[in-house]
Amino acid sequence: MSPEKKIIWQQPSPRFNRPFLQPLAVGLVCAVLIALILTMGIMDLRRSERTLIGFMENQGNRIIGVVERLTEENLKTMIIASQQTTGGAFVPLTEQVISPQKFLTEAIVAMGREIDNRWKREHLSEAYIRRYAQEKNLYLVAVLNSLGEVIFQSRTLPDNLSNEKAPAGTAALSKRTADLISRLNQLNRLKKIGFIALSRKDESGTIILALDRDSLRYWGTRVSVEKAMEKLGEGQGVVYLTVRDKKEMLLGEAGELPAVWKKEDPLFPRILDGTVAFESRKVGFGGKSLLEIVAPFRLGGEIAGIVRVGLERGNTDQILDENRRNMFVFLSFVMLMAILSMWLLYHNQNRHLARVVEMTRQLEKAERLSSLGQLAAGVAHEIRNPLNAISMASQRLRREYVPEDEEKNKEFVNLTGVIRDEIRRLNGIIEEFLTFSKSRRLELHDCPVQEVLRKIANLISEEAAAKGISLRTEWGNEPIVVPMDMDKLQQALFNFVKNAMESISGEGIVTLSIRNVENGRVGIRITDTGCGMTTEEVDRIFNPEYTTKEKGLGLGLPLAHEIIRGHGGEIRVLSRKGEGTTFEILLPAERHNDKGAKSS
C-alpha cells in the first residue's frame, strides 16, 4: 500500500447508516393492494356491464320475439282471408281477419297514389316505372291513358295470351283497358298473379299494379311486420327497429337508423345461416349511447330475414359511470392513506434511526473516552512525580541561588514565580482530570441542604467580593434534609457557583436559593446575572468535549452533572443571551437506596 493511501485509523460506519427499508416494503404492499383493488374493481365493472347488457339483450330478444309472433298471426289471418269458402260453403270473415287484408290493400293503393302524384308533376318515365317496380318488388306496374293505351309499363306481357271476355265490373273502362285486364286475369290463372287497377279521379287514365307469388309473399310479410310494429307501440327504450328479408328488402322500419348495413358485412351471412344466435354492440347515434342487437328474423321456425333493434343505454351507462366513479374515489382514498402511512412511517422511523445512530456514536465516544481516561489517569500519575521534582528544584533555586545583582535578582524571582505558577496550574489540571475520570462511589447520608450551601458561600465569598460580585442566599430557617454524599454534592454545587461567577464580567449578582418542589423533590437554584447562553450552548454545556474556557479542561459542569445524576437528581437550565442563567438542581427528598449509589 502506498504511503499516501495508508489508513492509520478509521471510524467504523454505524450499522444503521441508511434509511429504514420498511417504508419501501409498505409502499410495495400498498402498491400490490391498490393493484388488486383496481383489478377487482375493473372485473366488477365488467361483470356489472355484462349483467346489465344481458338484461338489455333479453329485452331486445323479447321485443324481437313479440314482433315475430304478431307477424305470424297477421300472416295467418291473411291466409284465412284469401279462403272465401270452406267445403263449398261461404264463410263470413271477422274484423280481425279482414284487418291485415285491408292493410295490404291500403299499402298497394298507397303505391298507386305515389305513382299518380308523380304523374301529376309530369315526372314519370319508363325508367322510373321499371326502377319503382324493382324497388317495391312488384310484378308489373302499368300506366294507361284515358284511351286505354299503355304509356309506361315495367315489363311487356306475353303475346300468346288470348283476349277473353272482359270480366264483370269493367264496362266503364275503355276497350283497351278491359283487354289488358283480361290478359292479366289469364295470367292470374296461369301464374297466380293478382293485380289492382286504380282509375284516376278525373278519368284521365288508369294505374295497374300486379303482384306475383314472390311479390305477394313479400308484401304480405311486410304488411304483417308493419302491423306488428304498430301493435308493439312506443316505449320500452326502443330507439329504432328495422326488419329486412334475405334479399335485404325492407320489411318494416320504425325510428331513424344510425347506418344501413351492407350485405357484405361479415355478420350478415352468419346471422342468416343461423351460426350466430344474436349479436350486440355499443353504437353512438344522435348524441346517445345505444346498444344495437342484431338477430335473425324467424317465421314458421325458419329464418326469413334479419332484424336490428336499437335500445337506449342511458340507465346502464349511468349505473356503470356511478360504479366507476365510486371505484376511483375509493382507490384515491386508499392511495392517499397509503402515501400518508408511508410518509409517517418514513418520517418516524428515520427520526428513530437518527436517535439510534446518535446513541451509537455516543456509546462509541464514551467507550473511547473511558479507555482514554484510564490511559490518561496512569499518565497523569506519572506526570505528577516530575512536576513535584521540578517544583522542589524551583523552590531550592529561589532560596539558595539568588543572584547578587539586583536587576538579575528581580528577573530571577519573576522566572521562578512563572515556573511555580505553571507547575501549580498543571497540577490543578491533573487533579481535575483525575477527579473526573476515576470511579465515584456515593455514600448517601441525610444532611440539610442549607449546610452545604452555607459552606460554599463561606468558601467563595472573599473571591466574589474581590470581583465585585454580590453573593445572595435565600432559604428559610427550617432545615431541608435530603439523602446526599455531602463532599460530592458540595463539589458539584461549588462548580455551578464557580461557573456562575465566571460568566459575570464586572459587577453582578449570584443568588443561591432553596425551594420545595412537587413529587417529593427539593430544588436548589443558582442564578446569575452574567452573559447567558444560547440554546445551542445550553445543549452542549454538559459535554466533556465542549468548553469555552481558555485555561483548564472545562470539566467542572460535566463532573457536577455526573454527581447530580448519581444522587438521582435532575438539572434544569434556563438561560438567555445577555440576561443571565439559572441552574435548578432537583434532588429526591427520600432515599431510594440505603447502601449508596454509584454515579453513572
Q: Which residues, listed in sequence order, are joined to residue 299 by a DSSP beta bridge?
A: 302
* CB hemisphere CA count around 302 (13 angstroms): 4
Residue 268 CB neighbours (<10 A): 17
**Which of 73, 96, 81 shows the shortest CA–CA distance to 225?**
73
Cell (9 digits) for 545: 468535549
CA 410-416-421 angle, to 5 degrees, is 125
Distance CA 310, CA 57 (A): 10
Q: pTM value?
A: 0.50
Distance CA 184, CA 159 (A): 12
Calculate the alpha carbon distances from 368 to 365, 375, 443 in Å: 5, 11, 28
Question: Taking a C-beta distance cutoff of 8 angstroms, is the pair 483, 446 a contact?
Answer: yes
SS3 annotation, 418-459 = HHHHHHHHHHHHHHHHHHHHCCCEECCEEEEHHHHHHHHHHH
The CATH number given to 441-598 is: 3.30.565.10
Question: Taking a C-beta distance cutoff of 8 angstroms, is the pair 156, 147 a contact?
Answer: no
Q: Which residues, listed in sequence order, are joined to residue 481 by a DSSP beta bridge?
A: 448
DSSP state of 388: H
Distance CA 135, CA 157 (A): 20
Length of the chain: 600
Distance CA 211, CA 197 (A): 12
**Which of 251, 195, 274 shows the shortest CA–CA distance to 75?**
251
Q: Which residue has the cell 308489373?
A: 140
Strand 508-517 to 469-474 pairing: parallel
DSSP H helices in 535-596: 535-540, 556-566
pLDDT at position 178, please? 65
Q: What is the architecture of the domain spanning 106-217?
A: 2-Layer Sandwich (3.30)
- How do the pLDDT tens digits run along the chain, 600 residues long? 444 444 333 444 444 445 555 667 767 877 887 788 888 888 888 888 888 888 888 888 898 899 989 888 888 877 776 654 344 444 455 555 556 667 778 888 888 888 888 888 878 888 898 998 888 888 888 888 877 778 888 887 665 544 555 454 444 455 656 666 666 666 666 566 777 878 887 778 888 888 888 888 888 888 888 888 888 766 567 888 889 888 888 888 888 877 666 656 777 788 888 888 888 888 877 777 888 888 999 988 888 888 988 888 877 777 878 888 887 888 788 778 878 877 887 788 778 888 888 888 878 877 776 676 667 667 776 777 787 788 788 777 777 777 777 788 888 888 887 788 778 777 776 776 666 555 456 778 888 888 888 888 888 888 888 888 998 888 878 888 889 888 888 888 888 898 888 888 888 999 999 887 667 788 899 999 988 888 888 887 877 666 665 554 456 788 788 888 888 888 889 988 888 899 999 998 876 554 444 443
Distance CA 311, CA 241 (A): 9
Q: Where are the domains of the chain?
A: 106-217, 441-598
